[in-house]
Copies of this chain bind each other. A is one copy, B any other.
Amino acid sequence: MDVPARPPLSRDRIVEAAMEMADAGGVPMVSMRKLGAALGVEAMSLYNHVKNKDELLDAMLDAALREVVLPDTTLVWDEQLAALAQEFRLAGRRHPGVLPLFGTRAIRSLEGFAPLERSFVILRQAGLAPDDALDAFMMLASFVLGYVTSENGGLREVAEGRSIDFSTIDFVAHPFLIEMGEAFVRHDGDREFQFGLDVLIDGIRQRLT
């Protein structure tokens, strides 16, 4: 007898649905009309909970960042950093459609900023001076962001043959391309990511003296 049991609209439900749409078909698949439809509501009703689409996109980035689970503070600093990086990568893989927003949108909430803040804190407590900690932070964050971006973006297109058509390449003029392609087929992302992480963290450790 009651209403058709449609759960009440809420900002969180909207953001969640938007992330789902983005992950399924990329950011361009997210439209206020489709989003409303997915929630059983008219597009304009969303505006009771979200100022506009830009704010919604920011909220999606924030929500993805809030999913990054922060490492146990009892671990040694290098283990903490590695764990945090791994968790970031997991969150990025869970939300391939949200990840590109990093390139264009800003982190708006303190909770979203928490993983970045935490990285800095770990480095400071490991003994680095503020400026050195920032250097190390930027290095780590750049690598992690870049790796996950490659993985979900261009690299996947290469792997799935949606990029260059390898069959048309003149391998005499490009003797290493075929080798590179073969290595790509063999490569193990988990191991590769860990390798990069090791190099970076070793580099930081050496600067600790």
Contact = CB atoms under 8 A, between A and B. Distances in A.
Closest 4 CB pairs of A and B: A146-B146, A199-B203, A100-B103, A106-B157
A184 interface: yes
Oligomeric state, in number of copies?
A: 2
Contacts of A11: none
Contacts of A169: 110
Interface string A35-59: 0000000000000000000000000
Interface of A: 26-27, 99-100, 102-110, 113, 117, 120-121, 124, 130-131, 133-135, 137-139, 141-147, 149-150, 152-154, 157-158, 162-164, 169, 174, 176-177, 179-180, 182-184, 186-187, 192, 195-196, 199-200, 202-204
A163 B108 contact: yes
B164 A133 contact: no
